[in-house]
Structure 1
């Protein structure tokens, strides 16, 4: 598997991954009716931010995006998001994407990385993020309407680089 910068030719494989994750409505607070154009606008970052894909040959297994969390006085903190195709989960792709994003952020001089909305029922992601140095710094109770669990919390997670 190789992690590389997103290219326009990747979109026909990236969009189905985004659509699947967003329509499941279990891990991202995006509208499940999101169109391909809205997904592209939301997911594909412009420099100096970066969107990447995790590829195995010609097949895209997952995607990630990374950049500045907030502008101005908050611009020293990065953020990132990741999505993996359902048939590729559990194979280390999300971890590889997260490690790539952490390395990218360190190389770009950020002081840390913040995740703004990790659904508290997404145990595999939380476990992975904690293993990679993130801590839950707060939870907004009931902020996410999960399709089967009802309202669950959204964690804010942070990984300092110093």
Structure 2
């Protein structure tokens, strides 16, 4: 469920408002699997190394597939960890009621990790109240409604972080599943970049949609 994303080599300063204490969000997938979405405010070091490594592999595979993200070369693990978790992120895992912290060491991450997303300013300075997000679902999450669950969580957390408006800069027009999710969550197309993407799943250049929604 990607929705992209500024140039990963550019580091936009975080908003001046520090993240508040946000509680994990508990919900269910469409197959009734219980899931918990954990806010991550202290960087990748707050997570088990094996979990970050899994997410790095999943993100690398997404880039190499060449259909959803604009980057052509994968990041190394350290760069990914800084890029994805450097401002504010969320990790979705299968709930294990009664077993303690769902992000503890030693879990079978390939089975229980469902996805992740980050939230960061789309612009610096006086425009930093407009946010952007990047989403990644894992192999364990396919066709289980994880994208919708993460989208709803994004809309809950982003305003609490002080953001007033959300912009997704490059949602490729042939990414039908992602577009359907954002349409159902009240986003609208506010712009189009003709022929923006040279994607592996199209012989022709693909338009990119700019999608936005008020968060207030």
Give the alignment of 1:77-92 within 5 angstroms: 77-92=130-145
| Partner residue in 1 for 2:205 | 151
Aligned-residue offset at 1:122: 0.5
Distance in 2 (CA, whole Å) between partners of 1:45 and 1:125 is 24
**Residue 152 of structure 2 aligns to a residue in which SS?**
helix
Q: Is the 8 A contact 1:65 1:80 kept in 2?
A: yes
Q: Which structure would you say has the larger RCO, counting Cα contacts within 8 Å and 6 or more residues apart? A: 2
Measured against aligned partners, the alpha-carbon deviations of 1:76-107 in whole angstroms (never above 9, x if no partner) come to: 21111111013412211111111111111111
Report the secondary structure of 1:124's partner residue: helix
Partner of residue 170, structure 2? 117
Q: Note if contact 2:158-2:215 (Cα within 8 Å) is conserved in structure 1.
A: no
Question: How far off is 1:138 after superposition?
Answer: 0.7
Unaligned 5+ runs, structure 2? 1-34, 41-45, 96-106
* Candidates 39, 45, 58, aligned match of 2:80: 39
Alignment pair present for 1:51 and 2:85: no
- What residue in structure 2 maps to residue 3 of structure 1? 37
Structure having the higher strand fraction is 1
Higher share in helix: 1
Normalised by the length of structure 1, the TM-score is 0.89
**Gaps (5+ residues) in structure 1?**
none
Contact in 2 for aligned 1:102/1:113 (Cα 8 Å): no
* 4+ aligned runs moved over 4 Å, structure 1: none
- Aligned counterparts of 1:116 and 1:51: Cα–Cα separation in 2: 18
